[in-house]
Amino acid sequence: MSTTTPTPRPLLLKKPVKLACVQLASGADKAANLAHAAAKVAEAAAGGAKIVVLPECFNSPYGCEFFPSYAEPLLPSPPPAESSPSFHALAAMARDNGVYLIGGSIPEVAESNGDKKYYNTSLTFGPSGALLATHRKVHLFDIDIPGRIRFRESDVLSAGSAVTTVELGEYGRVGVAICYDIRFPELAMIAARRDGCFALVYPGAFNTTTGPLHWRLQGQARAMDNQIYVALCSPARDTTAGYHAWGHSLIVDPMAQVLVEADENETIVSAKLDGARIEEARSGIPLRDQRRFDVYPDVSQ
Ligand SMILES: NC(=O)CCC(=O)C(=O)O
């Protein structure tokens, strides 16, 4: 009987790293939000995080009525400092703290031939302050649960049209998408299987109706389907605002266990991610070798 030792697979996450989600309390004053975010990113970095995540719409209140007045042009890249303070503040946060910064999201305005389009856009920066990736929210948050919540981002926003994955230098690749995007497992599968991501990162702002039902479940589901880490980063809840964010920022491991979860208040949650845990999950439950693309199509191709 011949005994062949299987060749070890390269780890998707090349070395362990601490990731932190900053569950930020923000309000109506954009400059104050940016300054506060900078202080919290510095706090997360001082705690050892090398990848830091901010929430969806961290520089403004969340609501269709706010998108146009808070929107900043992001093109050309880099945009002028006067018109795009959030871009430059994020670049400085990454550079000053030597971290990879998945900068939540901000309202973006893009003008072409006098026509203005608005997007919900996430910017990722590297430790030198260079922009690494831009993700425009692909699935706009349009829901209507009678008597509970009606929201129509598409009244104001245009949708992005790309799957976004980004190489974080010495660590490996992550997928970045925004909030409602998490409900579409195809996006996550493409990031995980086509691009070999070690984590899926979702700046998000679920609400107090769908949050308790689906927020954690969605995070665990995407981790379980793809056997990688998932991080969800929400704003803190502000009960004086029109939209009450669920909070509960969390990090899930490749076996779909919640490693850490916030309550609704401002806080930072963090966890050490380890590529060996991904390999362990995948060799124990070897979905990667068991898919039946003769029965159904491979959406990641
Ligand atoms: N900001 C969002 O996309 C909210 C998504 C949400 O609450 C949901 O239930 O999905």
Report pLDDT digits (tens) over 160-218: 999 999 999 999 999 999 999 999 999 999 999 999 999 999 999 999 999 999 999 99
Q: Is the CB of 206 under 6 A from ligand 1?
A: yes
Rounded to the nearest angstrom, the distance between the alpha carbon of 147 and the centre of ligand 1 is 17
Rounded to the nearest angstrom, the distance between the alpha carbon of 181 and the centre of ligand 1 is 8
**pLDDT greater than 80 at residue 2:** no
Closest residue to atom 6 of ligand 1, CA basis: 206
pLDDT at 43: 98
Report pLDDT digits (tens) over 60-89: 999 999 999 999 999 999 999 999 999 999
Closest residue to atom 9 of ligand 1, CA basis: 210
DSSP string, 43-71: HHHHTT-SEEE--TTTTS--STTTHHHH-
Side chain identity at 288, as an amino acid letter?
A: R
Closest residue to atom 10 of ligand 1, CA basis: 180
Rounded to the nearest angstrom, the distance between the alpha carbon of 206 and the centre of ligand 1 is 4
The mean per-residue pLDDT over the stretch 293-299 comes to: 96
Rounded to the nearest angstrom, the distance between the alpha carbon of 286 and the centre of ligand 1 is 32
In the chain, what's the furthest Cα-to-Cα distance?
74
Residue 179 catalytic? yes
Atom of ligand 1 nearest to the CA of 178: 3
Q: Which residues pair with 172 in a beta bridge?
A: 168
Q: Is the CB of 139 under 6 A from ligand 1?
A: no
Is this prediction's pTM over 0.95?
yes
Query: Rounded to whole angstroms, how far apart are CA atoms 175 and 170?
Result: 16
Residue 21 catalytic? no
Rounded to the nearest angstrom, the distance between the alpha carbon of 183 and the centre of ligand 1 is 9
Q: Is the CB of 108 under 6 A from ligand 1?
A: no
Q: Is the CB of 120 under 6 A from ligand 1?
A: no
Report pLDDT digits (tens) over 103-153: 999 999 999 889 999 999 999 999 999 999 999 999 999 999 999 999 999
pLDDT over 70, % of the chain: 99
**pLDDT greater than 70 at residue 296:** yes
Q: How confident is the model at residue 222 (pLDDT cuts 50, 70, 90)?
A: very high
Name the one residue in this structure whose structure tokens are 């502000």.
Answer: 238
E strand intervals along the chain: 17-23, 51-53, 100-102, 106-112, 115-125, 131-136, 142-145, 149-152, 165-168, 172-176, 199-203, 229-233, 250-252, 258-261, 267-273
Radius of gyration of the chain measured on its C-alpha atoms: 19
Q: Which of 30, 108, 137, 197 is catalytic?
A: 137
* CA quadruple 75, 132, 122, 217: dihedral, nearest 10: 160
Chain mean pLDDT for the chain: 97
**pLDDT greater than 90 at residue 1:** no
Closest residue to atom 4 of ligand 1, CA basis: 206
Q: Which sign does the torsion angle of CA 96, 102, 103, 107 carry?
A: positive
pLDDT at 7: 82
Q: Which of 21, 30, 40, 56 is catalytic?
A: 56
pLDDT at 6: 73
Ligand 1, from 210, 243, 246: best to mutate by most atoms within 8 Å of Cβ?
210
Closest residue to atom 1 of ligand 1, CA basis: 205
Q: Is the CB of 166 under 6 A from ligand 1?
A: no
